[in-house]
Amino acid sequence: MTLDRSYMQYPNRKRGQDHDLYAPSYLPDRPPVTWPNGARVAIWLVPILEFFPFNMDPKPEPLMPPGGLARLYPDYWNYTLADYGIRVGMYRLIRAIRERGMTATTAVSARLAELCPTVIRDCQAAGFEIAAHGRDMGHLHGDHLSETEERALITGARDALATVLGAAPGGWYAPAGALSRNTSRLVAEAGFAYTCDWVSDELPVPMTGDAQGMHAMPLGFELSDQRLIEEYKRPAWDYAEQVIDAFEYLHDEAGRAGGRLLALPLHPRLIGAPHRISSLEQVLDHIQSRGDTWCATGQQILDHWKGQQ
């Protein structure tokens, strides 16, 4: 197969990076960040509530989302595993977080909020922030969508959550982390304060170009339970050890170079199982034992960070 020469032509190619959505920034060049009450590390817990449509296309565009309904229809096995996370696992996460006086940002599929508003309101009652996680896991973003179609998905998710929450969510996280070349611009256009779609940093980053006015919040994927447990097949005790190792390194680094941020994506269908939840509790207890941490929502962390820039 011979590629057309136009395939290699990209108008934004330049030194440093091939887009204009944020400016190049290197860790040693940034002013130190301070968190409330002298905390060294800000803790951002992000439970992710995904809705997988039962009649989902077995070959969705642009990719099969992790945890998707990969078996032949009807895929009751995968569908009910996701449902388990919503109805059972999430409540273990809520208890583990609230018993320790901590808080979280729950990323929610808008279709889930429409069909199961109870769990969303229970998250609100626990003091959790709610962020938009697209329409559902059967509607991923990508260049297979027209701009009109993608805009409708983003504003539809925002408005559906606003109906349940009483106010539009401030945070956005694309289903499966899939993006088109228009996604960030359309999310900013829809009025979101921050996006979790970029994993290029460990602190908030101001967006530029077409997404100016919005910030990227670093929901790193390497410490996700989905990455470590589901993809890397690590046991729960190893998950806890790796997260604690990351926290300890950031805690030590913060003592030399300013505040750091530990973001922890959590999938209730995985970490909420009875043989794994104690590993999350171990992580939370270790973090609290330090005494110089600040657990906050994504919007709280962003607002505090912006006040120092």
Q: Classify the phi-psi angles of 213: left when phi > 0, otherwise alpha if psi is within -120 to 50, otherwise beta.
A: left
Q: How far apart are CA 251 and CA 192, in angstroms?
A: 30
pLDDT for 67 equals 62
Q: How far apart are CA 32 and CA 20, in angstroms?
A: 25
Please identify which residue in the block is written with the tokens 């996701």: 82
pLDDT for 18 equals 76
Domain ranges of the chain: 33-306
Over the chain (309 residues), what is each successive 10-residue block's mean pLDDT? 71 72 85 95 97 71 62 70 92 98 98 94 97 95 95 98 96 95 97 96 94 95 92 92 98 96 97 97 97 97 95
Structure token digits, residue 52: 């997988």
Angle between helices 277-290 and 236-257 (to 10 degrees): 20
The fold adopted by the segment(s) 33-306 is: TIM Barrel (3.20.20)
pLDDT for 5 equals 77
Q: How far is CA 24 from the centre of its chain?
A: 22
pLDDT for 232 equals 87
Q: How far apart are CA 68 and CA 58, in angstroms?
A: 9
Query: Which amino acid belongs to residue 145?
Result: L
Please identify which residue in the block is written with the tokens 């999310």: 187
Q: What are phi and psi of 299, to 5 degrees?
A: -65, -40
Residue among 117, 221, 109, 222 nearest 174 (CA): 109
Q: What is the pTM of this model?
A: 0.92
Bridge partners of 268, per DSSP, are none
Torsion 61-65-70-72 (CA) sign: negative
Ranges of beta strands (E only) in 209-271 are 215-216, 260-266
pLDDT for 98 equals 98
pLDDT for 260 equals 97
Q: How far apart are CA 179 and CA 177, in angstroms?
A: 6
